[in-house]
Amino acid sequence: MRKETKIGLIAFISLAIIYLGLNFLKGEHVFGNQDVYYGVYERINGLEVSNPVMLNGFKIGQVKKIEILNDGSGKLKVTMLVHEDLDIPKDSKALLKAGDLLGSMQIHIILGESTEMAQSGDMLQPDVEGDLVEEVNAQLRPIKVKAESLISSVDSVIRVIEGILNAESQQNLVESFTGINRAVRNLEKTTVRLDTLVREERQRIKAIFMNVESVTSTLAENGDELDRIINNFADISDTLAQANIAETVVKANAALEDVESVMTKINNGEGSLGMLINNPDLYNNLESASNNLDLLVEDIRINPNRYVQVSVFGRKNKNIQLSKAELEQLKEYINSSEGEGSE
């Protein structure tokens, strides 16, 4: 073999080894089967070529190419090479997320549930997970809000304390504590007085309890009599319940109505009793007659010979002599009788 041929062969083999070595270092399988998938993202958060493509934490490929679309949207098209012979559902997602704390980005394949499988050259659904900074900000945002609220509360408390610590508030506090101290002292005095009262009235309280105990004993000893009294009350109540009280009340009402009718007639001057009560002339006549009857009885007592003549020898005194006063009284009686008759 000529020297030039050997040199050319060695150079070709060297170039091939260098090419294969570089592709191996990049993670590309030159002689293996590779599927190509695409994803369009609005942002890639620092994703670079040769970054891994993962499935459940296992590397199945790498990023082959990143380019900007020329449609004016500013979106980025990412080309992914998958070395493994995998069946990826068509609705699977290519999730862009941080792989470590240093911010190295990776693409994680989230398998879908479609029965139709994606073919090499298909577009996967893009999705972007927040980077570390965004996650930290998301976690710190509620803490920040709470801290701001706490600072506002502390500021309010400080203002309240400043208001309390001024001269007027201090004086009010002193007066309040003085009043509390005075109230406590009064309470102590009241307690002492109560203790003294209890000591002084201990005998009386003891007597009261003894009386209560005596009453209780008496009630216990006379339980039978109390039962008998209660039974008697029960019998009385049963008797009252069985009595025709309604009929009695009706009769009583009727009697009261009759009495009211009689009283009405009396007030109206009807009947003898009504005339007697309401006619003053009748009353005066009766009074005059009574007076005259008294005079007559008195005259009979004084001068019985005028009305009853008794003679042992049968002699009668036919002439009745009246005194002057008797004649005047008889004349007044006759005149009053004539006046009443004329009326």
Spatial separation of the C-alpha atoms in residues 76 and 69, rounded to whole Å: 6
Question: CB burial class (10 A; 0-12, 13-18, 19+) of residue 127?
Answer: middle
pLDDT number for residue 256: 85
How high does pLDDT run on average in the chain? 77
To which residue do tokens 């008759």 refer?
341
Percent of the chain at pLDDT > 70 equals: 74
Out of 230-234, 237-241, 291-295, 313-317, the most confident range is: 230-234
Between 65-69, 105-109, 122-126, 221-225, the lowest mean confidence (pLDDT) is in: 221-225
Confidence check: pLDDT of 182 > 50 = yes
Confidence of residue 258 (pLDDT cuts 50, 70, 90): confident
* Residue 65 · residue 146 · CB < 8 Å: no
Smallest CA-to-CA distance from 94 within 68, 129, 70 is with 129
Q: Give the SS3 label for residue 68.
A: strand
Spatial separation of the C-alpha atoms in residues 331 and 44, rounded to whole Å: 158
Distance, C-alpha 209 to centroid of its chain:
42
Smallest CA-to-CA distance from 340 within 287, 295, 271, 266 is with 287
Between 64-73, 111-120, 242-251, the lowest mean confidence (pLDDT) is in: 242-251
Between 87-96, 205-214, 233-242, the lowest mean confidence (pLDDT) is in: 233-242
CA angle 187, 189, 192 (to 5 degrees): 110
Average pLDDT of the segment spanning 130-156: 75
Question: 10-47: per-residue pLDDT in tens?
Answer: 888 888 788 666 666 655 555 557 788 999 998 888 88
Average pLDDT of the segment spanning 330-336: 65
Smallest CA-to-CA distance from 127 within 78, 176, 200 is with 78
pLDDT number for residue 78: 92
Confidence of residue 327 (pLDDT cuts 50, 70, 90): low
Predicted model pTM: 0.35
pLDDT number for residue 79: 92
According to DSSP, residue 89 is labeled B
Give the DSSP H/E element, type plus range, for residue 134. Answer: helix 132-164
Spatial separation of the C-alpha atoms in residues 263 and 150, rounded to whole Å: 95
pLDDT number for residue 24: 61
Question: Which residue spans within 9-111 are E strands per DSSP?
Answer: 35-41, 52-55, 58-68, 76-82, 93-98, 105-110
Q: Residue 129: CB partners within 8 Å, gap ≥ 6?
A: 95, 96, 97, 98
Between 183-197, 240-254, 283-297, 315-329, the lowest mean confidence (pLDDT) is in: 315-329
pLDDT number for residue 308: 61
Phi, psi of 241 (to 5 degrees): -65, -35
Confidence of residue 231 (pLDDT cuts 50, 70, 90): confident
Q: Give the SS3 label for residue 177.
A: helix
Question: Measured between alpha carbons, how far is residue 222 from residues 47, 216, 225, 227 in Å?
Answer: 106, 10, 5, 9
pLDDT number for residue 315: 47
More confidently predicted of 298 and 251:
251
More confidently predicted of 318 and 115:
115
Question: Which residue spans within the chain are E strands per DSSP?
Answer: 35-41, 52-55, 58-68, 76-82, 93-98, 105-110, 125-128
Smallest CA-to-CA distance from 95 within 117, 66, 124, 120 is with 124
Q: Residue 94: CB partners within 8 Å, gap ≥ 6?
A: 37, 39, 78, 80, 107, 108, 109, 110, 124, 125, 126, 127
pLDDT number for residue 178: 87
